[in-house]
Amino acid sequence: MNSTVSQTRSFSTVFLIEMWERFGYYGMAALLVLFMIDKLGFTDSHATLTWGAFTALVYAAPSVGGWIGDKILGSRRTMVFGALVLSCGYFMLAMPNDGLNYMYLSLGVIVVGNGLFKANAANLVRRIYEGDDARIDSAFTIYYMAVNIGSTVSMLATPWIKDHWGWHAAFAVCCGGMLLAVLNYFIMFRSLAHVGSAPDNEPVRWQRVGAVLAGGVVLGLVTMFVLQHKAVAVACVYAAGIAILGIFGYMLMKCEHSERAGLIAALVLTLQAILFFIFYQQMSTSLTLFAVRNVDPQFSVFGVTLFTWSAAQFQALNPIWIMLLSPILALLYTKSAKSGKDVSVAAKYAIGFVVVAAGFFVYAVSGRYAVDGRVSSWFMVGGYGLYSLGELLVSGLGLAMIARYVPARMSGFLMGAYFVATGVSQYLGSVVANFAQMPSGNLDPLQSLPLYTHLFMGLGWLAALGALVAVLLLPLMSRLSREHHLNASDSVGAGHQADGIAV
């Protein structure tokens, strides 16, 4: 009982820190593409690809941050350090400076901060529930809900603040969210004092801190360069894809024979997650621009207008749905695990792709019911509901999958590799979004509608293909999972036997 209470307190601390960090990130994410188009004069294509390159770096950077947390500074320290750097990045965006290089520099600071924060926060959750497979899917699903509590509030708030007080005031609110995350950590520090990696238990080594700072400066400058050169961004994406396969290949060569089945399972599921994040990237790109040009901003029932949203606020439908669905799924996972009827992660992925396909088909079909080129906002509610359920079943379990199948000594690094994989697909998603780019200066809803509905229909069929592949892989995944659990059980039994001999 005491162990459970301790786990809950520790988890609650990380939950709240993650909630405020995501408040800052998604508040910025809701605005940045529109900021580049409206304030800096970017074309759709330029803004979308710049966003794709930025998010690719945001998701790839934790691969290094996870290693720093595991081996250099400690998971707890690196997480807090990252939160402070993120605060600086959002503060820079809040300054009344609309220079292009200044924006790129601000985004570089955000990439560095996210790299230090993201993998280590997730790794702390993994360490809290280490060895408790029955609760780990449930814990990561609730953890995923923290992301969406923060993002719901900020995605609703920052577009409204932008409309009333301007772009920089909205970015200042993102900075405030990050500072609350840091404050939350220091208030609740004791609940995490026993959780972390080995360097957390050692005195601070300032030479290492200096080396990490120097590396952060280099990464920030590299980010500025990559964002300004499309060819470099594309080369980085290809290199990252090759690196992911190389990382898994290296781990497979170095791992114990008993660990191999779990690592192969993790690789297959990571490749499926790459496909999913192509769909995820549409939220900040094609779906937001579709909302600007082709969605009626009024929510009406029987001709009576209930309320009106700005285009950027439609992104908040995603976290709203996830908050509604997360507790239900977490309860189902826990009950099925206790009854011995747990559905495998691979099967959840397959179901997730089916639901994502249905969501994009809803967006595609909405065009048939458009009035003067604009579709009802309720189509967005339905499409986002299906899309969000699919996200919970795939992305929501991605970190749980790493925690379940990967040995603890590799977890921080391979969680980082998982984020690299999502970074690759973020850029691919922005490339896909540009299939519906509007000609410069043309904002006629009747001309833009078929471009977007055609894109969404294609994405629906791509998700359906992903579901078919996931179903066909289920026998292989089932065999790998059984082998992994058998090897894990044998290792535990051998450990217990060795303990008995030692006594």
Please check the confidence at residue 444 and state whether its pLDDT lies above 50. Answer: yes
List phi, psi (to 5°) of 444. Answer: -70, 120
Least confident segment among 291-305, 309-323, 460-474, 483-497? 483-497
Residue with tokens 């900075």, as numbered in its chain: 175
| Whether the Cβ atoms of residue 33 and residue 434 lie closer than 8 Å to each other | no
pLDDT in tens, 146-159: 777 888 999 999 99
| Whether the Cβ atoms of residue 54 and residue 430 lie closer than 8 Å to each other | no
Mean pLDDT score of the chain: 84
Please check the confidence at residue 395 and state whether its pLDDT lies above 80. Answer: no
pLDDT band at residue 10 using 50, 70 and 90 as cut-offs: confident
Please check the confidence at residue 494 and state whether its pLDDT lies above 50. Answer: no
pLDDT in tens, 230-268: 888 888 888 887 887 787 788 788 777 778 888 888 888
Least confident segment among 28-32, 190-194, 366-370, 439-443? 439-443
* Angle made by CA atoms 289, 295, 299, in degrees to the nearest 5: 135
| Whether the Cβ atoms of residue 310 and residue 288 lie closer than 8 Å to each other | no
pLDDT of residue 233: 86
- State how far the Cα of 32 lies from the Cα of 35, in Å rounded to an integer: 5
pLDDT in tens, 72-105: 888 888 998 999 999 999 999 999 998 999 999 9
DSSP code for 300: E
- State how far the Cα of 104 lies from the Cα of 226, in Å rounded to an integer: 9
Please check the confidence at residue 437 and state whether its pLDDT lies above 70. Answer: no
Please check the confidence at residue 355 and state whether its pLDDT lies above 80. Answer: yes
Domains defined for the chain, CATH in brackets: 19-493 (1.20.1250.20)
Least confident segment among 75-79, 341-345, 454-458? 341-345
pLDDT of residue 501: 33
pLDDT of residue 4: 60
- State how far the Cα of 313 lies from the Cα of 149, in Å rounded to an integer: 14
Top pLDDT among 3 and 11 is at 11
Please check the confidence at residue 496 and state whether its pLDDT lies above 50. Answer: no
Name 462's Cβ contacts closer than 8 Å, sequence gap at least 6: 275, 278
- State how far the Cα of 145 lies from the Cα of 18, in Å rounded to an integer: 10
Within 10 angstroms of residue 498's Cβ, the number of other Cβ atoms is 10
Mean pLDDT over residues 158-172, rounded? 93
List phi, psi (to 5°) of 300. Answer: -125, 145
pLDDT of residue 400: 67
Please check the confidence at residue 1 and state whether its pLDDT lies above 50. Answer: no
Name 217's Cβ contacts closer than 8 Å, sequence gap at least 6: none
pLDDT in tens, 53-62: 999 888 888 8
- State how far the Cα of 11 lies from the Cα of 124, in Å rounded to an integer: 8
Q: Give the H or E element holding residue 301.
A: strand 298-301
DSSP code for 257: G
Top pLDDT among 411 and 7 is at 7
Least confident segment among 138-142, 147-151, 389-393, 422-426? 138-142
Calculate what percentage of the chain has a pLDDT beyond 70: 89
pLDDT band at residue 497 using 50, 70 and 90 as cut-offs: very low
- Beta strands 304-308; 298-301: pairing state: antiparallel
pLDDT in tens, 199-221: 888 888 888 889 999 999 999 99
pLDDT of residue 287: 93
